[in-house]
Structure 1
Amino acid sequence: MQNLYSHIQTHANNTPNKTAIVFKDVSVSYEQFDKFTQKVRAWINEQSIEKGRIGLIFLPQTPQAIMWFFGLMSAGIIPSFMPLPSHKQDVKKYWESHQQLIELTNPSLIITTDEWLSSFDKITEKIECTVYDNNVLSSYISNETVHDTTYQVAFLQHSSGTTGLKKGVALSHEAVMDQIESYSTSLSATSEDVIVSWLPIYHDMGLIACTIMPLILGQTIILLDPFEWVSKPISLLQAITEYRGTLVWLPNFSFEHLRRTVKTKKFEGLDLSTVRAFVNCSEPCKAETFDRFFNHFQDIGATQEKLQVCYAMAETVYAVTQTEVGKVVNKIWVDEQALLESKVLLTSRGNGSQLLSCGKVIEGCQVKILNPDSSELVSSDCVGEIVISGKFLFDGYYHRPEKTKEVFDGSCYRTRDLGFIHDDELYVLGRRDDLIISNGRNYFAHEIERIVNDLPNIKPGRNIALGVYSEQIGSNEIYLVQERTKEELTDEKLDKQLIKVMRQAVQDEIGLLLRDVILVEPSWLHKSSSGKISRELNKSKLLEFLNKDKL
């Protein structure tokens, strides 16, 4: 068993001039990558930094950040990417939460830019941690000695933090290599594949699928800046065209964002024919999203066979399932009412809800569907909690034994995701945390949000459905909080019309009468570092808002 870094050395020796990463006008070969990491090792040794402790990387998304990550790992430091604050975040809350995280993690070092050096003075004062400028390596000579950490923790992935303090998912070299071997086989991936990605490298999809796996396999990564992609989505398609990209991972909202923003008049010069798979992952994948994406982009090379699905999470390194590349993903129709009662009842095409398969479980992983409140298997026609075992599970949440114990018994991981298996393929419905029980009926918050997002004059991704317990009725009442766009002016008459349309759409589709729809100003909703809307923080904010309204 080799450690992860040994593969970089192999590529540097065998294909030194091959491009590892392209970022804007910067191109880094595998030889250059290896030499940078050698300097990191020399620097670590000279500084006499304790091995086996954490090194946090607070750097912009660039090739240098990735080389620092592998350099620290090869020197015996456990690296972890961390996000820098964005203009959309509350900076005070960002530093408060990261101070807690840094104190909990107790890193030996932090790598950041000169711009942010002073920001760490206060938040590291309670621990023995030194903060370094990322440009410290200029005078260092390469050190070829690699620290042997094959059976130890390789790095930490941090959760997106939508339900409180981020959890550091500890992953060993062995687990990561087993995952890459299994997942790359399911994709028929080779060293000739070209990965094009805007995804943040501090979360699992961007880190594993689009950074670590490609580098271990000797592929080329076309790296985009996440913030630039959001403002210019067509840049992803332009990069695919220019570099003949073959594999692209995207969360469901990205498919919709591309379809809405890249108009047909901008298609000239774009070519998606080289792509083997656009892999939908990270959030519930929608059949309607695939249909809309295919219909919009088919003239420039999108096909139904290229639209694929993966079910993945940091606790399993990455992938649990993958649909078969080159074939159209399976879809089924189920009775909506039965589904709300946790039963799976197939219907004819066009009747009920259409669900998209997440594919078969990849080799080395096992999935069971259990009763969410016990360890009993549910019958094949019932919805339950997805429970995972296998050879590439995480080692636990770093310095969080109480959180580890809640979901992991050493052999099985309880995902808190709800789903079922049909014809040996997994169908994922959503998070248990997204499930709101109101008047004896089950509602998925993301389904309520989807209904509203599909309405005209609504900016998708700017709302949240939340359940608030009412002592008067003895059950949850469901509220929808919707952000206005910056362009919208407050108009009481128009607001009432918009609220009426949203309430009616939800009632028509799933029979739910919302307790209220609350329109709020832009940026009101709390988001995590991955851009996910935080249910816990926003529920607290809603309760505060409702209590003020009662005064």
Structure 2
Amino acid sequence: MTGPLAWLDRPDERRGIRFAEPDGSWRLWSYAELADLVRRYATALRDAGVDAGDVVSIVETTGPRFVGLLFGSMLAGAAASPVAPPPPFGDRERWAEHLRGVLRASTPRLVVHDPALPLVAEVCAGAGVPAYDGEGLLAGADGRWAAAPTPDGPALVQFTSGSSGRVRGVRVPRPALAATVAGIQRWLRMTPDDPTASWLPVHHDMGLVGCLLAPVATGSDLWLMSPGDFVRRPLRYLECFGRHGARLTAMPAFGLDHIIRRVPRNALAGMDFSAWRAVIVGAERIQPALLTEFVRFAAPHGLRREALLPAYGLAEATLSVTGVPLDTGWRTATVEQGEVVGCGRPLAGAQVTVVDDDGRVVDDGTVGEIVVRGPSVAAGYLPANADGTASGTRLVDGEVHTGDAGFLVDGELFVLGRLGDGVKVRGRMLLAEDVEAAVVSACGAPVGRITALLGQVGDAPRVVLLLVRPEPDWLTAACAAAEVAAEGVPVEAVVVPAGAVARTSSGKPRRRLMWQDYLAGRLRSAEPVPAGPPATP
């Protein structure tokens, strides 16, 4: 076998994945043990009627069953489609409707789910889709070898994280997945001696492809936590690097902020981060001050500034598009919108251009829409999601028109934000990320506590600031900074409770969805906070 399944031919008995246990310990599953589990699941899926080209939806939490089902689906010739399980304290009906939409879009042959999630079986029964719990599926499976899939068959159906409020299924062929994994391995110079640690959700592209498939394909040790584990105990994650020898990881920017704010400096005593060589930072616009603060936090224990690697990617390109090379250090550029962190150069044979509203390639330093092509670009959307929008991400003739604004300087990409989250002000595109960066800087607020929304109310643009548990001095500073950044566009500040800011599985604000909620009157505090007399735009 080749590509991400090649490790199954000679799985290592000494290395494997260590899964975080609730009692604080780690449970090692060697690659030999996991390979056996993969074959058993591949056989069980075939026995359940799965054929080459089918979709298998996987609703599992982080653990050995997820790994077995992921690779077992691909070994059986099917496309694995990881689906985020319901949040522990979230709205059950809202999640159930999300799953119904996923099932309508992907039309899976069957769904396999965590036995502790009976809601999945209920939804599947209503939709007429066969559902199996992950343990019951293995009953009677004998582990015999499953026939290898064709090299050009499907590998994954990835659902986009939905920052625009709409989740779409992306078809990832095996060659695209293989090209992405190989590109990550070259970028990070990965060897079996380079352990990875991750807390990212395994159903999202960064956690799935970057922090699970790539390390497993390399045959390196992997320390795997769930997002909930990380939120509750970020120190346990740091111990993977400072005490257990992990060297590679990836996370959104808010993960760095969470570590800085939740881990006391004295808790790092005795840790050594000198071998930690890659902290990939992506999924959202990165504030330079946050990178500097994280280096200041970890440098006394050996972390080098060059270990922080800002990157850019998206599900429509399987995952990675650009990344800062190892050992070079990140840089910034100062533009009209402020200081912007560079996201590196193209990876895995990607070709990146920036185009204007008419699709013409623009000069270096000129802002436009980011367009990507290359061997990692997905085959397309599921038929139910095939349409695109002018400001959203589109797959057109082998190119990803990302819907993201950015610019190139000497081949390096600088990302500004979503075009669909902006408005035109005096002929210039103003992005929500521009306003949010100015506001957060003015207030010194933690990442995620202030979110900016932009849109039209009637024919006039407006800025809405969502403040989660704001400090007393934030309101005045936030509104003043927003009015300056937005060049006089009216600003409304709304105090919302924790959890009111809708986010994707990668932590990005779902701004379009929240703007629609705002217009419908569903996103207002009991006593809206006045922002002062609005200026006339």
Same fold (TM over 0.5): yes
Deviation at 1:150, TM superposition (A): 1.3
Q: Distance in 2 between matches of 1:135 and 1:272?
A: 42
More divergent stretch after superposition (107-116 vs 439-448): 439-448
Query: Could you tell me which of 426, 435, 457 is aligned with 2:413?
Result: 426
Query: Could you tell me which of 470, 474, 480 is aligned with 1:504?
Result: 480
Q: What SS class does the counterpart of residue 255 from structure 1 fall into?
A: helix
Q: Distance in 1 between matches of 2:165 and 2:504?
A: 10
Q: Distance in 2 between matches of 1:190 and 1:277?
A: 13
Deviation at 1:36, TM superposition (A): 0.7
> Per the alignment, do residues 379 and 113 of structure 1 end up closer, same or farther by CA in structure 2, a change over 3 Å counting?
closer
Aligned length: 519
Where does residue 4 of structure 2 map in the other structure? 4
Where does residue 190 of structure 1 map in the other structure? 191
Deviation at 1:143, TM superposition (A): 1.2
Where does residue 350 of structure 1 map in the other structure? none
Where does residue 53 of structure 1 map in the other structure? 54
Q: Which amino acid aligns with 2:495?
A: L
Q: What SS class does the counterpart of residue 424 from structure 2 fall into?
A: strand
Where does residue 347 of structure 1 map in the other structure? none
Q: Distance in 2 between matches of 1:363 and 1:329?
A: 19
Q: What SS class does the counterpart of residue 360 from structure 2 fall into?
A: coil
Q: Which amino acid aligns with 2:16?
A: T
In 2, are the aligned partners of 1:246 and 1:275 still within 8 Å (CA)?
Answer: yes
> Per the alignment, do residues 225 and 126 of structure 1 end up closer, same or farther by CA in structure 2, a change over 3 Å counting?
closer
Query: Could you tell me which of 466, 472, 476 is aligned with 2:461?
Result: 476
Q: What SS class does the counterpart of residue 11 from structure 1 fall into?
A: coil
TM-score, structure 1 length as denominator? 0.88
Q: Distance in 2 between matches of 1:411 and 1:547?
A: 39
Q: Distance in 2 between matches of 1:333 and 1:125?
A: 54
Deviation at 1:130, TM superposition (A): 3.2
Q: Distance in 2 between matches of 1:126 and 1:64?
A: 24
Query: Could you tell me which of 332, 350, 360 is aligned with 2:345?
Result: 360
Deviation at 1:262, TM superposition (A): 1.6
Deviation at 1:88, TM superposition (A): 4.8
More divergent stretch after superposition (121-130 vs 256-265): 121-130
The one-character-per-residue Cα deviations of 1:371-424 (angstroms, maximum 9, x if unpaired) are: 1x2221112231111111111210111223533697122222101111111122
> Per the alignment, do residues 508 and 260 of structure 1 end up closer, same or farther by CA in structure 2, a change over 3 Å counting?
farther
Deviation at 1:455, TM superposition (A): 5.5
In 2, are the aligned partners of 1:462 and 1:482 still within 8 Å (CA)?
Answer: yes
Where does residue 322 of structure 2 map in the other structure? 321
Where does residue 40 of structure 2 map in the other structure? 39
Q: Which amino acid aligns with 2:500?
A: W
Q: Which amino acid aligns with 1:23?
A: A
In 2, are the aligned partners of 1:21 and 1:63 still within 8 Å (CA)?
Answer: no
The one-character-per-residue Cα deviations of 1:67-116 (angstroms, maximum 9, x if unpaired) are: 11101210122211111111353222111121122122111111112222
Q: What SS class does the counterpart of residue 56 from structure 1 fall into?
A: strand
Deviation at 1:510, TM superposition (A): 6.3
The one-character-per-residue Cα deviations of 1:504-535 (angstroms, maximum 9, x if unpaired) are: 23345665554211112332232334443211
Where does residue 381 of structure 2 map in the other structure? 397
In 2, are the aligned partners of 1:99 and 1:124 still within 8 Å (CA)?
Answer: no
> Per the alignment, do residues 460 and 357 of structure 1 end up closer, same or farther by CA in structure 2, a change over 3 Å counting?
closer
Q: Distance in 2 between matches of 1:48 and 1:457?
A: 56
Q: What SS class does the counterpart of residue 408 from structure 1 fall into?
A: strand
The one-character-per-residue Cα deviations of 1:423-464 (angstroms, maximum 9, x if unpaired) are: 221111111123233454432212322333346584531333
Matches within 5 A, 1:6-85: 7-12=6-11, 15-24=12-21, 25-85=26-86
Q: Which amino acid aligns with 1:388?
A: V
CA RMSD of aligned residues (A): 2.5
Q: What SS class does the counterpart of residue 386 from structure 2 fall into?
A: helix
Where does residue 345 of structure 1 map in the other structure? none
Q: Distance in 2 between matches of 1:50 and 1:113?
A: 22
In 2, are the aligned partners of 1:51 and 1:77 still within 8 Å (CA)?
Answer: yes
Question: Gapped runs of 5+ residues in structure 2?
Answer: 528-537
Q: What SS class does the counterpart of residue 45 from structure 2 fall into?
A: helix
Where does residue 290 of structure 1 map in the other structure? 291
Q: Distance in 1 between matches of 2:505 and 2:329?
A: 33
In 1, are the aligned partners of 2:322 and 2:346 still within 8 Å (CA)?
Answer: yes
Q: Distance in 2 between matches of 1:264 and 1:183?
A: 32
In 1, are the aligned partners of 2:435 and 2:485 still within 8 Å (CA)?
Answer: no
The one-character-per-residue Cα deviations of 1:296-344 (angstroms, maximum 9, x if unpaired) are: 221111221111121111111111112110122232333x2xx5xxxxx
